[in-house]
Structure 1
Amino acid sequence: MRHGALMVALLLAACAKPREERAASREGLTAAELPQPRGAATVRMDQGTYSAPSVRFSADFLGDPPMPLMLVALSAQSDDGGTWRFRMPVDEQFVKSKHATARITPRTALGAGLAVVDYQLAGGPSLLMDEGTLELTVTGKQAKGEVRMKDGRVRATFEGPLTFECTVPPAWLGGANAPVPSSPGDGTVRVPDEALSTPQCRAMADAFR
């Protein structure tokens, strides 16, 4: 099943407790996983403030029937070069409710209901949060959430605009006339539907207007 193969690529790490673990090396991360330029989305925690252009919601449609793999992610950085990131797979219920809660885990294979969070202070190691919860709510095109430790204390809060990205099989966009993907990912070629010309991507985007 492709779901497990794709989710293995979602390496993260996070706000941590005293038991926080070192994250794996960032070598080999895809462009989508690397820290983004500073912008309108803001993360606040005791160790500092981080920002990124947006919180990103992506849908990756696979074959027929068109079942999407969906992911919400934020990859932010601070003025001094520190980083803060999370990855949280979601399911169709998130599209309806605009709300999701996930258990934070240090595992790299993720599914709906699980999230990975990490942060890195400038010049320091990347640290994984190994337990806690991540809560996300979307209102219109604005995302807001928080990361809580196991004892209920708030470890970090985040908020900012939500942007939507959608990828589909090339045949959905006309096959040979479709954009060429920069990376085949798990071996199944998909291409971005930037114009939201497919009904599947358009319907997903409309749900968050």
Structure 2
Amino acid sequence: MRPAVVMAALMLGACAKPKEDRVMSRQALTAERPQPRGAATVRTDEGIYSAPSVRFSADFLENPPATLRLVTLSAQSEDGSTWRFRMAVDEKFVKSKHATARIIPQNLLGPGLAVVDSQKARGPSVLMEEGILDLTVTGNQAKGEVRTKDGRVRATFEGPLTVECMVPPGWLSKANAQAAPAPVPASPGAGAVRVLDEALATPQCRSVAESFR
């Protein structure tokens, strides 16, 4: 199977949700990943949201070789409303520190595509229909904006960028990691297992982290 096909399939497995799950309750959303106030700020015409950071995730696969890369932000306002985005980027992003993605109204991600959704404290999750998400990273600081198709700015965001890196378990063993975490399942159907390289013991993860310092 070609690497491009595998990557598309894994992106689909990691990010796709059944159509009936696209409208989520506030309880389900916050249970997925509670977001305390933090250093990253989102400003929209509906309010201000905050999160600990913007997150860059690199997920390395071994057979066949491939890397999944996502930039995500999940922010919360004082009243419990949320604003989130997920953006798939390619290998050029690590060097260029800039990416532009087309916003689509469905949870099917691939490089150059993004999903933006918001949720009132007592309302359903709403996906942004169409638009552009623009992101620039300087050092370890991320900054960007979300625009509609006609160019109107819907939201701006800025804050620290944190790096999360997943690798095959064998990579940690080869790197002589002192405390390798227990393996966790990959996305459903991927047929692979990766672990979090929290200490950046592998050269692949160190290289990614050093690119955003």
Q: Which has the higher contact order (CA 8 A, sep 6+)?
A: 1
1:180 corresponds in structure 2 to: 182
Q: Deviations over 1:138-178 (max 9, x none)?
A: 00000000000111000000000000000000001118973
- In the alignment, is residue 4 of structure 1 matched against residue 8 of structure 2? yes
> CA 1:51–1:131 in structure 2 vs 1: closer, same or farther (change >3 Å)?
same
The aligned counterpart of 2:151 is 152
Over 3 Å counting, the alpha-carbon distance change for 1:149 and 1:35 in structure 2 is farther
Tell me, in whole angstroms, the C-alpha distance in 2 between the residues paired with 1:182 and 1:79: 33
Amino acid at match of 2:180: A
**Distance of 2:94 and 2:58 partners within structure 1:** 11
Give the conservation status (yes or no) of the 8 Å contact 1:35–1:76: no
Match of 1:103 in 2: 102
Identity of aligned residues (%): 69
CA drift of 1:200 comes to 0.6
Runs of 4+ aligned residues of structure 1 deviating over 4 Å after TM superposition are 26-31
What is the Cα-based RMSD across aligned positions, in Å? 2.5
CA contact (8 A) 1:23 1:118 kept: no
Inter-partner Cα distance in structure 2 for 1:2 and 1:29? 28
Query: Structure 2: which 5+ runs fail to align?
Result: none
**Runs of at least 5 residues in structure 1 that lack an aligned partner in the other structure:** 13-21
Aligned residue for 1:7, secondary structure, equals helix
The alignment's TM-score, normalised by the length of structure 1, stands at 0.86
Partner of 2:195: 191
Contact 1:35 1:83 in 2 (8 A): no
Q: Is the 8 A contact 1:51 1:77 kept in 2?
A: yes
**Offset at residue 188 of structure 1 (A):** 1.5
Aligned counterparts of 1:89 and 1:174: Cα–Cα separation in 2: 29
Q: CA deviation at 1:179?
A: 1.4
